[in-house]
Structure 1
Amino acid sequence: MATAYCLARDGLAVTIIDRNLSPGMGASFANGAQLSYVYTDALANPALIKHLPALALGLDPAFRLRPSFDPSQIGWLLTFLRNATQARFEANTLAGLELGLQSRLAMHALLERHPLDFHHRQAGKLHIHQDQGAFASAARMVELKRRHGAMQEVLSDADARAIEPALAGRQAPIAGAIFSPQEEVGDPHLFCAAMNEVLTRDYGVVSRLGSTVMQLSDDGNAAQLMLDSGEVLTAGHVVVCAGIDAKSLLSPLGVRSGLMGMKGYSFNAPAGAIAPVHSITDVARKMVFCCLDDTVRVAGLAELGRMDTRLAADQVRALKAGAEEALPGAADYRRARGEWAGIRPMSPTSLPDIRQVSGRVSINIGHGMLGWTFAMGSAERIAKQLLQGVSA
């Protein structure tokens, strides 16, 4: 939806094609709702590599690796490992920070023009660390990111509890916290629905919801899309923003997407007696909490290599139990509802792939756990690429 907006705003005729009957029903439907513009740390890092055997053996309840002999997964893992050096981790993190800050500016510019309602607010974000070593590494990254435009603070246990009432019920000690005061939250599904209305009403965008693209081709003169209805659409250019499903769409063009699915879960619960004032990430549990209106959304868990969106009952129970243990009074967990699972399209670098892959086809994919955060900045980048091509 962000890409469609940037292209239509800049004067191009745009048609949106989505297999679902309403927009934002995939990975955008019920993710963590975090607009983490400065927390862009790449997944591949030296500390995680040491942890890989435990992941493969299923010893980490929050993060699991599903081993496979699939050549594409093996290739992805090898590239991921090459990006786990300290130098590449820092480079990928800073590249993500640059895109995150661009996204923040683009989102604010959009909202100045179109004040959309999607429970958006500047909540600030707390990353809570239990492990002293992990906290020390995070504090070092704060110093690096500050030099590149990030606003972050390093807090003690007492400092964190002083600014966040939801931590009052937490029994586990805190080694320290990273506070990012400018971070925001917003419901990405509501955003997509509101954007679709604005695009069709104000920009003449044609929204073809409930249409599945069966095949994408490019003969050099135009791009063709065959729909499940048998209809063939022709376009001067196609931008694929299909998340993990981009793999099957791009394969006939000979394009390897380099994506790996990472399954995550979420649920909503009524706000508790000490609901979070800020967005909170429990780093050890790989779990996020934020308030969307009068509801607390909890999202987390990571199953690398999983491609199904089935709700695994044991994982849902684990997420709820972990949330209640981490922040007991933050939500009424007994009244939890809206359990959901989605697939994050992960690249080995944790950076999206934004480029032209053939004469008439471009891609904007691979945003991983930061798809909501990177959406507006990525859209600006792909729109700039296309407009430069049109003017040339």
Structure 2
Amino acid sequence: MKKAIVIGAGVAGVASAYMLCKAGFTVTLLDEKPAPAMGSSHQNGAQLSYAYCDALASPSLLAQLPGILLKKDPAYRCTLQADPDFLAWGLRFLINSTPARFSNNTLTLSRIALRSHALLLELLEKHPIEFDYEINGKMLLYPTLESCQKHTKILEQKRQQGFQLSVLTREEATVIEPALVHYPDPIASVIYSPGDAAGRPDVFCQKLVESLQHEYGLKTQFNQKVQGIDHSKNRVTGVCFRDAAPLECDTLVITTGQSCDLLPSKDRSLGDMWPVQGYSFTADAHPQAMQTSITDVKRKLVFAPLGNELRVAGLADIGRHRFHFTPNRFDTLMQTAQAAFPLFFGEDQGPPKRVWSGARYVTPSSQPIIRKGSLAGLYLNLGHGTLGWTLSLGAAEQVASLINS
């Protein structure tokens, strides 16, 4: 039987392991953390935003760049680095910010997302795992008509792809989501997608790994950092560790940006990816809190209901190559959430139950890197950025198709 190793037990890695198990491989899932989904997938925004896979590089973000560099926008922190990789990534990011490239990148991501949604529904029919999954729809709150109208063209293109999207007034949106009465600022327009969902990615990974172990004999090895890729005659033969015996395989899939150092030089180019650090907190849901996922376009925050809890995520710190814990950014996140929904995050609600920060590797186009490596048997499934949860199964299916071909 064919042997496959997947490096990374976040949503991309677990989804890749799932696809390979279904394809008849004997799969071993590796991660340097002690359990699945302990890195970027641990406490991320939790929204499954199938209809809103917009590329990060965009004309609107380009227009905001001067304010970001001058630190006038609390949602972003950009620390410029004299690093050739960062400078190359930044230049390629700017090139992808044109209207044409933004549209092409977004529609490509939307196609992966649409397939990912269908695959999740198929998966849950066979593996009915519980992870507070709820198809609760999603709303984007726009402060001005102009800011919403900029998306008219891409909105129509998404409808042609099969997404159900409506433009609502504040009054119409409030009928669907009564919590909007507690939003203090003007809402000129709301884009609503009833088919979007939310769920806990960490619990999904943990439960799916357990299911794959039971049904397919998935093997796991945690708390082990891979030190190198073993190969012979230009073909992958396995991986090696510092403190454990090497493992053999015919197929190796790398799903974490942190593992790029393992790749042969032929598989690395300047500016392929750069980590963008995000933040979240999880709090007990107020009795009147939203039941629909919400994105506050003005504040660049997402709110995702998860059972009896509410996940709030946002902020993007760009520039540092390594994860850097910044406590005052959590203060910014909390203050911004309080400004958006004062009733839900007031002092009487108490502190958040959990806080999280993690680095997501983002490509200049926001499109994930899904391709064969320079060694036979080596495959890459990387760079999903903030969309890893949404794109996970669709991207995994693509890499499995490459392997099977």
TM-score by length of structure 1 reads 0.95
Could you say which residue in structure 1 is the equivalent of 2:379?
362
Could you say which residue in structure 2 is the equivalent of 1:30?
43
How far, CA to CA, are the matches of 1:232 and 1:297 in structure 2?
Answer: 40
Deviation at 1:138, TM superposition (A): 2.5
Contact 1:166 1:330 in 2 (8 A): no
The one-character-per-residue Cα deviations of 1:129-168 (angstroms, maximum 9, x if unpaired) are 1143221112332122111211111111222222212211
Could you say which residue in structure 2 is the equivalent of 1:99?
112
Could you say which residue in structure 2 is the equivalent of 1:180?
193
How far, CA to CA, are the matches of 1:200 and 1:373 in structure 2?
Answer: 23
Could you say which residue in structure 2 is the equivalent of 1:349?
365
Matched residue SS, 2:101: helix
Comparing 123-132 with 303-312, which one deviates more in the overlay? 303-312
Which residue identity is paired with 1:45?
S
Contact 1:222 1:360 in 2 (8 A): yes
CA separation of 1:221/1:140 partners in 2, compared to 1, >3 Å: closer, same or farther?
closer
Could you say which residue in structure 2 is the equivalent of 1:111?
124
Quick check: 1:337 aligned with 2:353?
yes
Could you say which residue in structure 1 is the equivalent of 2:248?
234
- Give the total of aligned pairs: 387
Q: Name which of 304, 308, 311 aligns with 2:318.
A: 304
The one-character-per-residue Cα deviations of 1:333-390 (angstroms, maximum 9, x if unpaired) are 52312111011110111111101112121000000110000001011111111011xx
Contact 2:201 2:389 in 1 (8 A): yes
Quick check: 1:246 aligned with 2:249?
no
Deviation at 1:307, TM superposition (A): 4.1
Contact 1:270 1:335 in 2 (8 A): no
The one-character-per-residue Cα deviations of 1:224-245 (angstroms, maximum 9, x if unpaired) are 3111314222210100011x20
Contact 2:236 2:252 in 1 (8 A): no
Written as runs of structure 1 = structure 2, the 5 A alignment for 1:1-392 is: 1-219=14-232, 220-242=234-256, 244-250=257-263, 254-256=267-269, 258-331=272-345, 333-358=349-374, 359-388=376-405
CA separation of 1:308/1:285 partners in 2, compared to 1, >3 Å: closer, same or farther?
farther
How far, CA to CA, are the matches of 1:131 and 1:369 in structure 2?
Answer: 25
Contact 1:218 1:360 in 2 (8 A): no
The one-character-per-residue Cα deviations of 1:99-135 (angstroms, maximum 9, x if unpaired) are 0000001111100100011111101000111143221
How far, CA to CA, are the matches of 1:336 and 1:131 in structure 2?
Answer: 31
Contact 2:57 2:94 in 1 (8 A): yes
Unpaired segments ≥5 residues, structure 1? none
How far, CA to CA, are the matches of 1:221 and 1:144 in structure 2?
Answer: 42
The one-character-per-residue Cα deviations of 1:221-273 (angstroms, maximum 9, x if unpaired) are 4333111314222210100011x203222255653371111100001111113
Which residue identity is paired with 2:316?
A
Deviation at 1:325, TM superposition (A): 1.2
Contact 1:128 1:281 in 2 (8 A): yes
CA separation of 1:226/1:252 partners in 2, compared to 1, >3 Å: closer, same or farther?
farther
CA separation of 1:329/1:128 partners in 2, compared to 1, >3 Å: closer, same or farther?
same
Q: Report sequence identity in percent.
A: 36
Matched residue SS, 1:335: coil
Unpaired segments ≥5 residues, structure 2? 1-13
Which residue identity is paired with 1:301?
L
Contact 1:276 1:330 in 2 (8 A): no
Deviation at 1:98, TM superposition (A): 0.4
Aligned-CA RMSD value: 1.5
Contact 1:311 1:340 in 2 (8 A): no
Contact 2:229 2:236 in 1 (8 A): no
